[in-house]
Amino acid sequence: MTETLTSRTVRSPVETPRLGGLGLFTVLLGAALPLIDFFIVNVALPTIGGDLHASEPVLELVVSGYGLAYAVLLVLGGRLGDLFGRREFFLGGMAAFGVTSLACGLAPNAWTLVAARAAQGAAAAAMLPQVLATIQAATGGQRRAKAMGLYGATAGLSMVAGQILGGVLVAADIAGTGWRSVFLVNVPAVVVGLVLAARAVPETRSQHPEPVDGPGTVLLAVSLLTLLAPLTEGRATGWPLWTWLSLAAFPFAAWAFYAVERRADRQGRTPLVPPSLLALTSLRRGLVMLVPFSIGFSGFMFVIAVALQRGAGLGPVPAGLALTPMAVAFFAVSLCGPRLVARFGTRVVTAGGLVQAAGVALMALAAWRSWPHLGVVELLPGAAVAGAGQALQLPILLRIILSEVPPARAGVGGGVMITTQQSALALGVATLGSLFLSLVSGSGMRDALVTTLLVQLAGIALTVALSLRLPRTIS
């Protein structure tokens, strides 16, 4: 049957929707926006705090409120897209993301901004899982491999570009908007995305829709909240009793979630996160490696933003531009990833980890020798090498994780992967960020930065070891 590029009509089950070039660009735009917004506020936080008279715990909520809502609702967003149609949820999620971004940009006070950021995270959770699910369901063969490579490159580049863009926008003070422009910039991007999506993104859904797993959804939310909420807010609030009670409850909540999901799977019902998915070697081992990689990535981005602004005395633009070599190297090297994998297999990921370790070591050396005169020139060699190493890992790792997931469960598989990644990103800010800030008062900014980078090196060593267990080829 002839494939069609449009998707305004509902296809019969035997037709195969096709994601064209414009459609792929559109869904990748939808993938970039939530990741950019996770990092774009890092360099804007000092300005936000001064303008809205926000305390440090409230500023932490500006970051963590978005991340928590995002992580908690991602798997549910993927399941609902499978059930009701991924294109419709992509459009709805993108529209909601634009509205909530506008609310963030117009927030009159800090608590309104916190609420708007949480709503923005929920909108992102509706939109982002549909990206991977659409790619899985509407591409195949080499087209899918190329699309997944571009998705991975977009994800990594968005994380770095978000921090750079945040610094530029805050300093530009467009029409007197100051920090508000880091949110308002999403609005025109969303309008363009909605127009393109309506024309070029095909409708896909599971041929056997699965109902929402209510108990699993609640228990997953409880599990993530009991872990992430105290870790993200604990240091800023002085570790009150609720943080310790929450952390103590986490193992029980996680066990209850797994028990409920396993029982549903054995009884023939469809759990939110089917344990049978974890039987896929590529998905299971890829997720295990994704956790320390993402923790190190986000922890580094947060720490370097704080160190360059508070310690080295750089403004938002120099602090953001200091990571430009990392972004440029990531983009350039990620384009070579598919060819390298075709020739050398997934050992490219191992090589990428070693390259990244060399880059982080160079940045630690630069911080030790040049402090407090640390900027783009001093960080350039290490940042470029680290960016190249990250580009040899993240895009390929995301391809590996989803390589064996059947199209019918594309939304669930994508949701599980992104939830794992997002939770780890939040953990990175909470753990490495808290370590760095706690060391500053006793050791000084330079020693705190160098120590945190050395801890990240230990995490990279773990990812290198885990990469040796990945399948040698991508199916």
pLDDT at 123 over 90: yes
For residue 12, count CB atoms less than 10 angstroms from its CB and return exposed for 0-12, middle for 13-18, buried for 19 or more: exposed
Q: Calculate mean pLDDT across residues 342-365.
A: 92
For residue range 434-445, list pLDDT tens digits in order: 888 888 888 888
For residue range 357-369, list pLDDT tens digits in order: 999 999 999 999 9
pLDDT at 1 over 70: no
Compute the Cα dihedral for 121, 200, 162, 317 and give only its sign.
negative
pLDDT at 81 over 90: no
Q: Calculate mean pLDDT across residues 91-111.
A: 94
Q: Calculate mean pLDDT across residues 371-376.
A: 85
Instruction: Specify the pLDDT at position 209.
Output: 63
Instruction: Specify the pLDDT at position 417.
Output: 85
pLDDT at 340 over 60: yes
- Using the structure block, give the residue that is written with the tokens 């598989």: 413
Instruction: Specify the pLDDT at position 3.
Output: 41
- Cα gap 125→78, rounded to integer Å: 8
Q: Calculate mean pLDDT across residues 58-82.
A: 82
Split at pLDDT 50, 70, 90, the class of 4 is very low
Inter-CA distances, 271 with 35, 45, 128, 261, 415, Å: 27, 39, 20, 5, 13
Q: Report which of residues 382 and 162 the model is more confident about.
A: 382
Encoded tokens for 455: 């801890």
Q: Calculate mean pLDDT across residues 92-102.
A: 95
For residue range 270-279, list pLDDT tens digits in order: 787 888 788 8
Instruction: Specify the pLDDT at position 419.
Output: 82
- Cα gap 409→125, rounded to integer Å: 17
Q: Report which of residues 318 and 211 the model is more confident about.
A: 318
Split at pLDDT 50, 70, 90, the class of 210 is low
Whether pTM exceeds 0.85: no
Per-position b or e across 115-147, b if 16+ CB within 10 A of its CB: bbbbbbbbbbbbbbbbbbbbbbbbbeeeebbeb
- Cα gap 354→388, rounded to integer Å: 11
271 with 265: CB under 8 angstroms? yes
Per-position b or e across 69-99, b if 16+ CB within 10 A of its CB: bbbbbbbbbbbbbbbebbbebbbbbbbbbbb
- Using the structure block, give the residue that is written with the tokens 């024309």: 199
Calculate helix-pair angle for 214-237, 56-84, nearest 10 degrees: 160
pLDDT at 341 over 80: yes
Instruction: Specify the pLDDT at position 150.
Output: 85
Instruction: Specify the pLDDT at position 7.
Output: 39
Instruction: Specify the pLDDT at position 16.
Output: 62
Q: For residue 304, how many other CB atoms are within 10 A of its CB?
A: 27
Can you list the alpha helix ranges (DSSP code H) found in 173-204? 181-184, 186-200
- Using the structure block, give the residue that is written with the tokens 């370097």: 304
Encoded tokens for 454: 């050395």
80 with 186: CB under 8 angstroms? no
Instruction: Specify the pLDDT at position 20.
Output: 83
Q: What's the chain's average pLDDT?
A: 85
Q: Calculate mean pLDDT across residues 176-182.
A: 88
pLDDT at 27 over 80: yes
pLDDT at 450 over 60: yes
Instruction: Specify the pLDDT at position 363.
Output: 93
Inter-CA distances, 87 with 181, 194, 354, 396, Å: 28, 11, 39, 25
Encoded tokens for 276: 């049978």
Inter-CA distances, 347 with 123, 264, 291, 337, Å: 36, 37, 19, 11
Q: Calculate mean pLDDT across residues 287-306.
A: 89
